[in-house]
Amino acid sequence: MNNPKTTPGPLGFWARYKEKHPNIAQFLVFFMLSNGITVLQLVLMPVFKSMFAGTSLVHSSFQVLQFGHNFDGSPYYVFDYAAGSLSSGGGGGLAYFLAVQITIAIAQILNFFVQRSITFKSNSNIWKAAFWYVVAYIVITIGAAAAQGFYKAPIYNLFMNTWGMGSVGETTADVITMIINSAISFWVFFPIFKIIFKQESEK
């Protein structure tokens, strides 16, 4: 095994840095992998969106978990995907909901294994970690969806209507909302991973 103090080049520098600053190095690895997962989401999102765009699911409303009301008195839903395409003033319906959630689910499943193996090098019980990961995923998904109710409509309205960018504006808004959602997950998941992805001493 190479000694980090004698290993030349970038690998040697990284090994020495990781030895001196293990927590910062761990966070940097987490940051880089999370960005990779975010890029994957940005690639998958339009794929699933186009798959569902031509189905009747676009015209099926998906508005659940009402939580109070908006300022105009209309019901506020945590998951608010009104029937109709975004370009026609709707919320994308069940089609948009599925495109978002399938994209996030695939990304998070991959994220689980990558972060566990590479970032945290965890050897704890994988099923126990997976259980708490799913619990955290559900809670964060609901929280992120609730937060989305405040910024989703204004962002789409700005790019599609105010700036008149049409379909390009819709795609741009898709990217921005996905990035915001990923950023929320990023800052919440790191401390959770520190808890569930442990390194247990070998007996």
- Two tokens at 36? 């990779």
H or E, element range at 97: helix 93-114
* 26 domain-assigned: no
Vertex 108 angle, CA 138 and 46, to 5°: 105
pTM: 0.78
CA 51 to CA 49: how far, in whole Å? 5
Query: What pLDDT is attached to residue 175?
Result: 87
* 36 domain-assigned: no
The structural domain count of the chain equals 1
* 14 domain-assigned: no
Return averaged pLDDT per consecutive 10 residues of the chain, 203 residues in all. 57 80 89 92 91 91 79 77 84 91 92 92 90 89 79 84 84 87 84 85 59
Query: What pLDDT is attached to residue 39?
Result: 92
Q: Are 121 and 87 in contact (CB under 8 A)?
A: no
Residue 77 β-bridge partners? 66
Query: What pLDDT is attached to residue 59?
Result: 93
CA 190 to CA 192: how far, in whole Å? 5
User: Residues 6 or more apart from 52 whose CB is under 8 A from it?
Assistant: 58, 95, 96, 98, 99
* 34 domain-assigned: no
Query: What pLDDT is attached to residue 198?
Result: 83
* 87 domain-assigned: yes
Structural domain containing residue 48: 41-196
* 20 domain-assigned: no
CA 108 to CA 150: how far, in whole Å? 24
Long-range contacts of 86-92 (CB under 8 A, 24+ apart): 86/156, 86/160, 86/170, 87/160, 87/166, 87/167, 87/170, 90/58, 91/61, 91/63, 92/58
* 1 domain-assigned: no
What SS3 class is residue 21?
coil
* 116 domain-assigned: yes
What SS3 class is residue 65?
strand
In b/e form, how buried is each residue of 92-105, taking b as 16+ CB within 10 angstroms?
bbbbbbbbbebbbe
CA 40 to CA 44: how far, in whole Å? 6
In b/e form, how buried is each residue of 118-149, taking b as 16+ CB within 10 angstroms?
ebbebeeeeeebeeebeebbeebbeebbbebe
Query: What pLDDT is attached to residue 203?
Result: 52
